[in-house]
């Protein structure tokens, strides 16, 4: 996905990665770290940080840390 393809409603017609992360948390052993990989395309890292997917990804990461604090979550950019 290119950062210029912005959908104001945030619906991207794919399985929500936050849902996949919650399912991974339910099935993985408690000592397993889960990596959340946030891919964005832009001319600079600053531009990539402003993409809707990156913003939602970081918000999801914070939610997972808050709701599932016993798991080690890694947000990889």
Lowest mean pLDDT among 8-12, 14-18, 30-34, 49-53: 8-12
Gyration radius of the chain over CA positions? 13
Output the pLDDT for position 14. 57
At 14-46, the pLDDT tens digits run 568 899 999 999 999 999 999 999 888 888 888
DSSP string, 41-71: --SSHHHHHTSHHHHHHHHHHHHHHHH-TTS
């Amino acid at each position: 996905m290119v950062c210029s393809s912005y959908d104001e409603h945030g619906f991207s017609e794919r399985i929500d990665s936050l849902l996949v992360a919650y399912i991974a948390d339910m099935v993985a052993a408690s000592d397993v770290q889960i990596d959340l990989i946030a891919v964005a395309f832009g001319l600079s890292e600053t531009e990539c940080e402003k993409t809707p997917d990156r913003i939602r990804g970081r918000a999801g990461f914070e939610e997972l840390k808050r709701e599932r604090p016993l798991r080690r979550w890694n947000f990889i950019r």
